[in-house]
Amino acid sequence: MEKKHIYLFCSAGMSTSLLVTKMRAQAEKYEVPVVIEAFPETLAGEKGEQADVILLGPQIAYMLPEIQRLLPNKPVEVIDSTLYGKIDGLGVLKAAVAAIKKAAAQ
């Protein structure tokens, strides 16, 4: 199976980079074939084209409609604030994989 690209976008980047590290560790542990990257929200239109799923940090949830408009053929979701706050790499990874599967089924 080819690797799926999970891209996270946020405003500051610090907590999201910690989350990416945790997600990568869980993906490696469970042998999930993914590439996980984090970017500032200003690059969503440019970088989002290569993503299989786009996850937004809760602090930029207000940008959801705009990013969905920029990338109409991509699944775009806001990371659950509880998972984000706990830096729950496995929980966010599961949500991302579910979003990829849901988009593929449509």
For residue range 48-68, list pLDDT tens digits in order. 999 999 999 999 999 999 999
The predicted-structure confidence for 10-24, as pLDDT tens digits, reads as follows 997 677 999 999 999
Sign of CA dihedral 51, 37, 83, 89: positive
Structural domain spans, the chain: 4-105
> What would the two tokens of residue 27 be?
């993906």
User: What is the DSSP code string of 1-38?
Assistant: -PPEEEEEEESS-HHHHHHHHHHHHHHHHTT--EEEEE
- How does residue 1 score in pLDDT terms, banded at 50, 70 and 90? low
Distance, CA of 38 to CA of 14 (rounded, Å): 10
* Alpha-carbon distances, residue 12 vs 5, 29, 53, 57, 97 (angstroms): 21, 28, 20, 10, 24
CATH, range 4-105? 3.40.50.2300
37, 42, 45, 48 alpha-carbon torsion, rounded to 10°? 10
The predicted-structure confidence for 28-51, as pLDDT tens digits, reads as follows 999 999 999 999 999 999 999 999
Please say if 53 is a catalytic residue.
Answer: no
Out of 6, 8, 10, 32, pick the active-site residue: 10
